[in-house]
Amino acid sequence: MGNLWIGPPGSMYEIDQAAKSFDRTADLGVSEFKSLGGRVTVTRNLAPVRRIKLAWDLLPPAHARALDRIARRVDSSLAPTVFLVDPAAGNVLTAGQALGRGTTKATDITGLAQWFTTSTGTVAESATAVGAFTFTAVSADSALAWRCVGTVGNFPVSPGLQVSFRAPTAIAALSTESVGLDFKKADGSYISTVSASGPLVTGTVPANAAYVTPTCKPGTAGTYSLAGACLTYGGTAADGIPGDGLPPMSVTGYSDTPGRPLPFRNFSLDLVEVSGAAG
């Protein structure tokens, strides 16, 4: 398990001190209505929203200053939303991506657009399993990549962060597969690739990188399930880890009090998953 990182792509700050408290409970948005006859009706949000509450005691001044700048949006050039690399998350792919699933007959981010081909080959909904998606490789050069749902399409990173990717289970079982991590600048332009033969690749984000795109090449023509893929920050990707996602978040509250002894500070931070943050 790695450290917590927080901030905008390319400028996420590493907090290497464990939080005193760390609540990452998702808000299910469940409401109950009880009729006069005693029957209960339940409504809930289609997509639970994650709320994260962090608190530190005696945080070093450098860490506290960085969190304070993020909370107060001191750097106007930085985006109003931030990303939180949660050390408790073993897979930053969405739950659907990790399962190789999306909305049936969809072409938006919940369906086909969670993945894209980088050469030949096609991504399509399975003809035999509703909502399940597959990749059809037509040659040894056919390749596939994963999009980050909720961003410009690439997964946000910062220099020095360790990233690890494992191919979907069906492709990992082959003896011809290879995987890669394509690192890109803030404008999306390509920097470099870390690649490996086999199902697993791990690399450190290079200087000037703000995004990463995981890629996979089966190396053998055929149709493969996309279930079982894993993208991990700060650890080693493994098979069968549920997807937590990596949504943009906004700071909704914070506290910053002097600690004893000075110059240490006691700091807390509240964040919520968002689709956007104006202002």
- Give me the tens of pLDDT residue by residue for the chain, a chain 279 residues long: 578 999 999 999 999 998 999 998 888 878 888 888 889 888 887 778 889 999 999 999 999 999 999 998 887 555 678 999 988 889 999 999 999 998 776 655 555 679 999 989 999 888 778 889 999 999 999 999 999 987 778 999 999 999 999 999 999 999 999 999 999 999 999 999 999 999 999 999 999 999 999 999 999 999 999 999 999 999 999 998 999 999 899 999 999 999 889 999 999 999 999 875 544
Let me know if 256 is exposed, middle or buried by CB neighbors in 10 A (0-12, 13-18, 19+). middle
Beta bridge partners of 162: 204
Name 39's Cβ contacts closer than 8 Å, sequence gap at least 6: none
Q: How far apart are CA 159 and CA 161, in angstroms?
A: 6
Torsion of CA 194, 204, 65, 270, to 10 degrees: 70
